[in-house]
Structures are given as C-alpha cells and as structure tokens.
Structure 1
Amino acid sequence: MCAHILVAEDNEMQADLIRRLLVREGHTTVVVHDGRAAIDEAKSRRPDLVVLDLMLPGAEPDRVFSRRQLLHHTRGHDRASTERAIDVHIMNVRKKVEPDPRRPVRLVTVFGVGYKLVGGHHVP
C-alpha cells in the first residue's frame, strides 16, 4: 500500500536518504527542512505519516497541545473520533521515541492541559 509521507528533517543528507528509501518502497514523499514548512505542508496535504526530526528548527518543541487541538489537526471536524483516542496515539508514539515509555522525557503530559514535546534529551 502506497502512503503519502511528509519528511521534516533539517539535515539535507538525512532527509534525502529517508526520501530515497521511502520512494523505493513505493511511497510518495515530500521533504521540508523547518518546522513552519512542516506545519504548512501537513495542513495542506494531510499526509498519512510524518517523519519528524524532534529538534527541527521552528518546530516550537515546548508548545502544549490539548487533546482537542491534536484531534482537530489529525482528524479534522468530520471524523467520529474521541479526544481519548489521542491518548492511544500518544502512547504508541512514546513506545517509539522514549527510552522508557512509562516515564516519558520527550513527549510529556501537561496535566489538565495536554501534551508537549521537550527537546534536549538524547534517546540511545
């Protein structure tokens, strides 16, 4: 199955390598090199997957997003999803990016508000 994938990576060599591997697997791929372009591209083309450099310039890593905002940006207004579905997605992302998903240090919960990315942590 072919997917439309957005690669947001400021290192041009890494971005090109990722793009070539994805295209070889049959996916359509768009590459951007900063956070503002990644947001604009994600809003306009609604990719199936985003490969995101967590330290991407212009990505505002300490901004807090509510469940409702995340649901709106991922599903739009027309989808029949609940805000709690975002928790499941967050849990799955943490399994991929956190050294210990039960004690997140990169994708953290801001209790009563939502979630935020926190930069500066090295994941082995």
Structure 2
Amino acid sequence: MLKMSGIDVCRELRRTSNAGIVMVTARADETDKIIGLEVGADDYVTKPFSLRELHARVRSLIRRLEGRGEPQDKLLKRGDLTISESQMRVWKRGVEIALTPTEFRLLTALAARPGIVYSRLQLLQAAMEDDYLNDERTVDAHISKLRKKIEDDPSKPAFIQTVYGFGYRFGGGA
C-alpha cells in the first residue's frame, strides 16, 4: 500500500463503516496483531496462509455480521392490512393509514391474535394510559375512530368485530 498503512486504512474504514475487515499481512508480531484488532479489524491473518483458512475466516465473519444487522421489522399481515410494529405504521392495500398511538396499540393488540376476544378492560390495559383505566367505554370511541380508518364499511366491520356484552376481536378482514 503506497500512501496509507493497513492500520490507517482500517482506522479510516471503521470511522465510516461497520463492514467486516480481515487484515491480511506479513506483519506477524504480536504487537502488530493487537494494534490491527484494536483499530477495528475483525480478524488478522498473517502470511503465509492457506486460501482454505482465509475462506473459512471470511465465512465466519459473514455469519457474525449477519447477526449484527438491524433487527428485522416484525410485519403483521392481516387481510389487506400490513402493520409494522417497529415503525408504528399501517398500510391498507399499500396505502398508508395515519393512526394515533392509541389506535395503533389497539390495532396491534387485536391483530396479534386474530379471533381472540378481548374485554374492554384488557384493551384499555394494552393500549392506554392509566388515567383512562376507569372508563372502559373510552375503548368504544377509539374503536369507532379506528374502524372509520381501516374498514371498507365501518357499519359492517371485517377487521374489528364486536362481541356483544364482552368486547372485541380481530376478524382478519376476510
């Protein structure tokens, strides 16, 4: 390397990238290895080396890096709805629907377990602040607003269904 040492290249790469770095060098002194690893190399291979060993080390690094990536977004797909829990976003047929935080929490609580009936109190506990826990009918108002946003016909809901005398369940929007 003409203008920068391998240590400098590694240090510069690490400032701007989380990419895997395997240093391959003739410098086999313990101090050189320690410096290379300290400035950001993920592995340090000294010459002479076998290509099979280098290949195995690169594969090992790739396995480690795959586990280090961003957590996968958990998407709930229910009928025409797609719910991104990590982004707190909802789409119906690919069109984003703006929901309040309470509406979003109600929807995800219901959609997480389709068919399960939740009482108003259970939904209050899952979706709202403690201030509202004494007024279970608050859920009805939020469900009504949520239905207007996600249902094709809010008077005949396919997603959020009423279970008379108890609460609500997610029907799947069939």
| TM-score (ref. length: structure 2) | 0.38
Higher Rg of the two aligned structures: 2
Matches within 5 A, 1:41-80: 48=101, 50=104, 59-76=112-129, 78-80=130-132
Percent identity between the two aligned chains: 37
| 1:9 corresponds to 2:75 | yes
The match for 1:105 among 154, 158, 168 is 158
Extract structure 1 runs of 4+ deviating beyond 2 A. 29-32, 48-53
SS at match of 2:86: strand
- 1:75, CA displacement in angstroms? 2.2
Summarize the Cα distance change of 1:113–1:102 in structure 2 as closer, same or farther, 3 Å threshold.
Answer: same
Long gaps (5+) in structure 1: 1-6, 20-28, 33-47
TM-superposed CA distance for 1:8, in Å, is 4.4
Counterpart of 2:34 in structure 1 is: none
Aligned residue pair count: 82
Aligned-residue RMSD, C-alpha: 3.5
Which structure has the higher relative contact order (CA within 8 Å, separation 6+)? 1
Equivalent-residue separation in structure 1 for 2:151 and 2:74 (angstroms): 19
CA distance in 2, matches of 1:114, 1:80: 16
Q: Which of the pair is proportionally richer in helix?
A: 2
CA contact (8 A) 1:65 1:113 kept: yes
Q: 5+ unaligned residues in a row in structure 2: which ranges?
A: 1-72, 89-100
